[in-house]
């Protein structure tokens, strides 16, 4: 153990850890002896007797008491008393030793370094006395090993051995004492002594455990700070740097806490805190602790480790007060070691860790100095920009900063933001395309930051230039960045803000240029927002008109005012503000020597020679004037207005064509205005359009409108007289497509059916497939019928029947009409073809959509099936049964099957009008077949017996057919019982009477039954 450490330890141990004034009494039986006071009682007893005041020092008092107790021992008192005396004597000798050792050091120990050397010298002189004490302690412990007072004796022994420099022996006593008395009142001191010894023995792990026990012991205030400090050193020696760092933080916390009773220290904040402001002893310890902490951090990840350390210890009460000091010390330490880059990282680490702290701003300046010394200009620019962003007007820091902090930062904020904005503006001027736009946006943001700072009241004394130039740069930067609203606001503020009368010419020029810039910027803003709805654009358009007029009024002699007036005339026209339009139009016309326009004089004016540019301006505003009349529905005046505007318009220009069309439109709308009240006049006006402006697109419209108006008035022939020439002259015009329908309507009204049919077929030829085309085809066929043109009607219906199977009902009617055409012409086979078509499509419809078949279609199918059945029945009847029978019978049966098939369809349709007749005919075919078989030709090569047998055979063959006929007739007659009255039912009754007279030839009964039924 070094001399310095030894003395320091001795001072710490001896400063306030003396034995108490007496020891407790020993055995309980002794303490309970009646009423005789013990030595302990005497030692502690105070007396109320007045004694003469004696001036004695502590050393004198101890020497006197020692003599008294030594005399008591020579009297050989009771063993218990003797024991108390010996222990008391040891205590007195200890006090005497301490008093002697420190007799000359009481008030002189002001300087700790001097005190250490003085104590060491004094203790060396008293070594013999110290050895005598040690022996006395050892004898007591040996003679009385179980005495309670031994805790204090062993404590004194350990301390004495330590003073002798016998560390191992002292440590053994300390360890023994702690084992025997784990709750000893000297727990903190003893563990601190252990820690010191272990540390000096380089047993740092044991030292750490000892120091930790000091920190957990009660009444450890005298040793806590040093234990924390030595704990950190012990961890540092073991290279457990993170643990060491945490211990050193605890030292700082303890140092700050120890100074809280000092009002000056207690009032310190993080803004102005420094360990140098603490007491002298705390300063020294803090300085040494900061040094070793910086060393520790430098051996780790430097600033990263410090950030982690501080973050992990944010719960410490005072860390916010001094954490910036740790970063500053580390940076200084690294700079001393020529580790500039690592110092930069340290400053930056704090800035990142606590960006909204005043020390972050201060460290930013330190970091800026570092960059400047190293010539890192790009890093300087970035840091200055970050500084403005982090601490400027819109930052969280500024909003919460004190006036003093704002005043501290403002000069740098102004300087940095001004420099940054001008640099960005200059760089943006060199860029192209989207990069240029983005660069100017950044420049505008930077300029805005500077202007906000420069416009603070407290910034005025700091400025060295007029900010109007920066305001103009800000407006220009926003314009180039296409941030037009911001640019507009800035230009306007410059242009129309009040200025002193003595304003410089340069300032006036900036204002005039800004005034014109507002008119340019508002247009860019409107263009940018052109996708918005017209209602959303209204405020912008109003603002544009206001700015134009403001510039014209403010600077009427500026040549740009004339162009703005022309534009304003257009805007006034767009807004239908015709009063403003007149104002701006007059401004332009008068500037070119032309009399103002009026509704009454416009047509009478004659064009005067003008330059090309002036002529264009005059033409433009005069055309707008004519358009305004047009929009106000003053079509008569508008016609005259366009005549005037055309005087200043080149005949080959698009404006000429447009105005010619508007002139035509004016005449057209004159007609529209009177078509309800004076239709004849309206027609004449409409036809005048083509006379005045024949090339106008309105001319054809007007002709068609005239025709439509004639159609509405049912002036059919006049309408035809307009439509037919138009159709002939413009066969491919889009309007011509509607003319056939109009002509068809007119011809129909004039009962010119064949002409109407021709127009309808034109529609059919040109129309796309659909309902209109189909209906036109059908109607045309009907019209041909009305005109008596049977050939064209037949052709047209045939085309319809083959083209349009749907709608089903109309298609079936057309097929029936075709059958009627051929019935009338006597072409039975063609008639039967269409009957078969009717039945075929009926079957198809039944399969696809039976609900589409209505009563009329069922009737048409019944007519067709019945007619075809009768035709086949006639063929059946015409076939004669000749020998050989089987050949002719087959032909007859085939015809009969066809007829039955058609009649069966009639029965399936179930129309009462046709079912009885079809049923009767079916029965008759079976009856006729039986009759024809019986009357068939007999073979000529049979004898009489064979012939008789052949006839019996014929009867056998004919009988089933006859029976079948009877059954069918009976089924037909059954309808009479269902209250169905039909001549063919009566015919079945008559036929049954013939075929089965026994059952059916009872006329009276039958009539009675029928009468009863009815």
Q: Which class for 344: exposed (0-12), middle (13-18), buried (19 or more C-beta within 10 A)?
A: buried
Collect all residues with Cβ–Cβ distance below 8 Å to 79 and sequence separation of at least 6.
none
Degrees to nearest 5, angle at CA 200 with 194 and 205: 65
Which stretches of 299-357 are DSSP H helices?
303-312, 319-336, 340-353
Q: How is residue 221 written in tokens?
A: 């205030």
Identify the residue whose tokens are 């006197």: 64
Low-confidence ranges of the chain (pLDDT < 50): 1-54, 104-117, 119-120, 599-602, 1004-1014
Q: How is residue 820 written in tokens?
A: 């009627």
**pLDDT of amino acid 209:** 92
What is the C-alpha to C-alpha distance for residues 417 and 384, in angstroms, rounded to an integer? Answer: 8
What is the C-alpha to C-alpha distance for residues 380 and 614, in angstroms, rounded to an integer? Answer: 57
The region, left, alpha or beta by phi > 0 then psi within -120 to 50, assigned to residue 533 is beta
Instruction: Say how many C-beta atoms besides its own lie within 10 A of residue 462's C-beta.
Output: 14
pLDDT, tens digit, for every residue of 650-662?
888 888 888 888 9
Task: Assess contact for 572 and 627: CB atoms under 8 A.
Answer: no
Degrees to nearest 5, angle at CA 221 with 217 and 225: 100
Report the 3 state secondary structure along 385-429: HHHHHHHCCCCHHHHHCCHHHHHHHHHHHHHHHHHHHHHHHHHHC
Single out the residue of 471, 440, 442, 439 nearest to residue 454, CA to CA. Answer: 471
Buried b (16+ CB within 10 A) or exposed e, 151-160: bbbbbbbbbb
Residues constituting the chain: 1014
Task: Assess contact for 723 and 746: CB atoms under 8 A.
Answer: yes
Single out the residue of 494, 496, 545 nearest to residue 519, CA to CA. Answer: 545
Identify the residue whose tokens are 């001036």: 55
**pLDDT of amino acid 801:** 85
Task: Assess contact for 357 and 341: CB atoms under 8 A.
Answer: no
What is the C-alpha to C-alpha distance for residues 852 and 861, in angstroms, rounded to an integer? Answer: 14
Single out the residue of 284, 293, 286, 296 nearest to residue 321, CA to CA. Answer: 286
Single out the residue of 884, 960, 908 nearest to residue 929, CA to CA. Answer: 960
Question: Measuring CA to CA, how many Å separate 975 from each of 921, 967, 978, 982, 999?
Answer: 16, 13, 5, 9, 18
Instruction: Say how many C-beta atoms besides its own lie within 10 A of residue 351's C-beta.
Output: 23
What is the C-alpha to C-alpha distance for residues 584 and 588, in angstroms, rounded to an integer? Answer: 6
Question: Measuring CA to CA, how many Å separate 603 from each of 634, 647, 648?
Answer: 14, 10, 13
Query: In 89-191, where do the E strands start and end?
Result: none
Identify the residue whose tokens are 């990263």: 304
Single out the residue of 356, 357, 308, 361 nearest to residue 330, CA to CA. Answer: 308
Question: Measuring CA to CA, how many Å separate 153 from each of 7, 16, 825, 984?
Answer: 22, 16, 158, 155
What is the C-alpha to C-alpha distance for residues 388 and 890, in angstroms, rounded to an integer? Answer: 118
Dihedral angle of Cα 277, 280, 284, 289, to the nearest 10 degrees: -50
pTM of the model: 0.50
What is the C-alpha to C-alpha distance for residues 361 and 409, in angstroms, rounded to an integer? Answer: 8
Q: What's 735's DSSP letter? A: G
Query: In 761-889, where do the E strands start and end?
Result: none
Task: Assess contact for 816 and 860: CB atoms under 8 A.
Answer: yes
pLDDT, tens digit, for every residue of 741-779?
888 878 888 888 888 887 888 878 777 887 887 888 888
Single out the residue of 791, 812, 787 nearest to residue 800, CA to CA. Answer: 812
Identify the residue whose tokens are 């033409």: 619
**pLDDT of amino acid 547:** 92
Question: Measuring CA to CA, how many Å separate 773 from each of 312, 398, 567, 738?
Answer: 89, 81, 53, 13
Single out the residue of 554, 481, 556, 486 nearest to residue 515, CA to CA. Answer: 554
What is the C-alpha to C-alpha distance for residues 895 and 883, in angstroms, rounded to an integer? Answer: 18
The angle, 0 to 180 degrees and rounded to 10, between the axes of the packed helices 241-258 and 221-237 is 160
What is the C-alpha to C-alpha distance for residues 25 and 20, in angstroms, rounded to an integer? Answer: 14
Q: What's 596's DSSP letter? A: P
What is the C-alpha to C-alpha distance for residues 593 and 586, in angstroms, rounded to an integer? Answer: 10
What is the C-alpha to C-alpha distance for residues 93 and 135, in angstroms, rounded to an integer? Answer: 12
Single out the residue of 578, 648, 652 nearest to residue 618, CA to CA. Answer: 648
Q: How is residue 705 written in tokens?
A: 């409108």
Report the 3 state secondary structure along 470-503: HHHHHHHHHHHCCCHHHHHHHHHHHHHCCCCCCC
Single out the residue of 769, 743, 771 nearest to residue 757, CA to CA. Answer: 743
């Amino acid at each position: 153990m070094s001399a310095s450490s030894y003395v320091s330890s001795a001072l710490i141990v001896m400063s306030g850890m003396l034995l108490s004034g007496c020891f407790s009494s020993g055995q309980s039986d002794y303490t309970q002896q009646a009423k005789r006071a013990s030595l302990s009682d005497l030692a502690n007893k105070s007396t109320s007797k007045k004694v003469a005041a004696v001036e004695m020092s502590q050393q004198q008092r101890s020497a006197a008491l020692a003599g008294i107790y030594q005399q008591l021992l020579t009297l050989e008192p009771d063993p218990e008393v003797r024991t108390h005396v010996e222990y008391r004597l040891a205590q007195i000798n200890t006090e005497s030793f301490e008093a002697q050792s420190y007799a000359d050091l009481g008030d002189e120990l002001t300087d700790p370094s001097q005190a250490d050397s003085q104590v060491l010298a004094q203790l060396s002189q008293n070594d013999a006395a110290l050895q005598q004490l040690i022996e006395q302690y050892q004898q007591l412990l040996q003679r009385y090993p179980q005495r309670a007072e031994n805790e204090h004796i062993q404590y004194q022994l350990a301390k004495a051995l330590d003073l002798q420099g016998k560390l191992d022996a002292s440590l053994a006593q300390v360890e023994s004492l702690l084992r025997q008395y784990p709750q000893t009142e000297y727990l903190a001191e003893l563990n601190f002594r252990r820690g010191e010894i272990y540390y000096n023995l380089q047993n740092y792990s044991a030292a750490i455990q000892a120091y930790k026990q000091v920190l957990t012991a009660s009444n450890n205030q005298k040793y806590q700070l040093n234990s924390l400090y030595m704990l950190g050193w012990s961890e540092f020696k073991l290279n457990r740097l993170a643990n060491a760092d945490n211990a050193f933080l605890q030292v700082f916390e303890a140092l700050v806490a120890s100074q809280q009773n000092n009002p000056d220290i207690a009032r310190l904040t993080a803004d102005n805190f420094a360990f140098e402001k603490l007491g002298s002893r705390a300063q020294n310890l803090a300085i040494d602790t900061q040094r070793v902490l910086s060393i520790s951090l430098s051996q780790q990840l430097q600033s990263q480790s410090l950030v982690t350390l501080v973050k992990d210890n944010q719960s410490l009460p005072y860390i916010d007060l001094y954490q910036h000091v740790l970063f500053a010390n580390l940076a200084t330490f690294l700079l001393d070691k020529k580790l500039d880059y690592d110092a930069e990282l340290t400053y930056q680490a704090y800035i990142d860790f606590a960006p909204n702290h005043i020390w972050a701003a201060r460290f930013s300046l330190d970091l800026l100095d570092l960059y400047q010394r190293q010539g890192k200009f790009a890093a300087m620019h970035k840091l200055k920009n970050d500084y403005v962003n982090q601490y400027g007007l819109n930052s969280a820091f500024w909003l919460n900063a004190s006036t003093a902090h704002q005043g501290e930062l403002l000069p740098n904020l102004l300087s940095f933001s001004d420099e940054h904005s001008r640099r960005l503006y200059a760089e943006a001027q060199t860029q192209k395309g989207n990069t240029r736009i983005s660069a100017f946006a950044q420049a505008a943001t930077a300029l805005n930051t500077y202007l906000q700072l420069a416009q603070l009241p407290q910034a005025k004394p700091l400025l060295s230039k007029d900010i109007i130039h920066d305001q103009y740069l800000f407006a220009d930067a926003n314009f180039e960045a296409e941030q037009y609203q911001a640019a507009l606001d800035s230009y306007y503020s410059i242009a129309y803000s009040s200025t002193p009368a003595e304003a410089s010419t340069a300032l006036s020029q900036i204002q005039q240029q800004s005034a014109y810039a507002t008119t340019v910027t508002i247009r860019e803003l409107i263009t940018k927002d052109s996708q918005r709805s017209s209602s959303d654009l209204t405020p912008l358009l109003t603002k544009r008109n206001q700015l134009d007029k403001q510039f014209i009024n403010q600077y009427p002699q500026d040549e740009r005012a004339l162009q703005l007036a022309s534009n304003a005339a257009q805007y006034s026209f767009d807004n239908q503000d015709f009063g403003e339009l007149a104002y701006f139009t007059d401004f332009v016309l008068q500037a070119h020597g032309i009399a103002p326009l009026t509704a009454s004089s416009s047509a009478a004016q004659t064009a005067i020679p003008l330059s090309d540019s002036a002529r264009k301006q005059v033409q433009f505003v005069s055309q707008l004037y004519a358009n305004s009349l047009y929009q106000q529905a003053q079509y008569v005046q508008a016609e005259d207005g366009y005549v005037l505007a055309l005087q200043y318009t080149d005949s080959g220009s698009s404006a000429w064509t447009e105005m010619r069309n508007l002139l035509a439109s004016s005449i057209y709308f004159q007609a529209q205005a009177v078509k309800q009240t004076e239709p004849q006049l309206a027609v004449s006006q409409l036809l005048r359009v083509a006379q005045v402006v024949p090339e106008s697109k309105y001319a054809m419209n007007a002709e068609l409108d005239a025709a439509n108006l004639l159609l509405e008035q049912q002036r059919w022939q006049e309408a035809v007289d307009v439509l037919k020439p138009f159709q002939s002259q413009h066969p491919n015009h889009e309007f011509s497509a509607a003319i056939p329908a109009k002509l068809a309507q007119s011809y129909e009204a004039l009962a010119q059916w064949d002409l109407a049919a021709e127009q309808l077929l034109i529609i059919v030829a040109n129309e796309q497939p659909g309902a209109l085309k189909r209906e036109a085809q059908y109607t045309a066929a009907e019209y041909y019928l009305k005109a008596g043109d049977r050939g064209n009607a037949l052709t047209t219906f045939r085309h319809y029947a083959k083209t349009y199977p749907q709608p089903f009902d109309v298609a079936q009617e057309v097929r029936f009409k075709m059958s009627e055409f051929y019935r009338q012409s006597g072409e039975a086979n063609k008639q039967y073809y269409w009957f078969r078509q009717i039945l075929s499509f009926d079957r198809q419809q039944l399969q696809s959509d039976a609900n589409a078949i209505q009563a009329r279609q069922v009737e048409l199918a019944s007519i067709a099936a019945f007619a075809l059945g009768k035709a086949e029945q006639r063929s059946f009847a015409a076939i004669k049964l000749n020998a050989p029978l089987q050949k002719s019978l087959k032909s007859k049966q085939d015809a009969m099957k066809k007829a039955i098939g058609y009649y069966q369809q009639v029965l399936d349709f179930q129309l009462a009008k046709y079912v009885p007749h079809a049923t009767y005919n079916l029965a008759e075919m079976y009856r006729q077949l039986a009759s024809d078989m019986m009357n068939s030709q007999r073979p000529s090569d049979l004898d009489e017996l064979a012939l008789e047998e052949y006839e019996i055979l014929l009867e056998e063959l004919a009988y089933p057919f006859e029976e079948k006929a009877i059954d069918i007739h009976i089924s037909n007659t059954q309808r009479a019982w269902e209250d169905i009255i039909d001549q063919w039912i009566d015919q079945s009754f008559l036929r049954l009477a013939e075929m089965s007279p026994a059952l059916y030839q009872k006329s009276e009964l039958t009539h009675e039954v029928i009468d009863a039924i009815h």
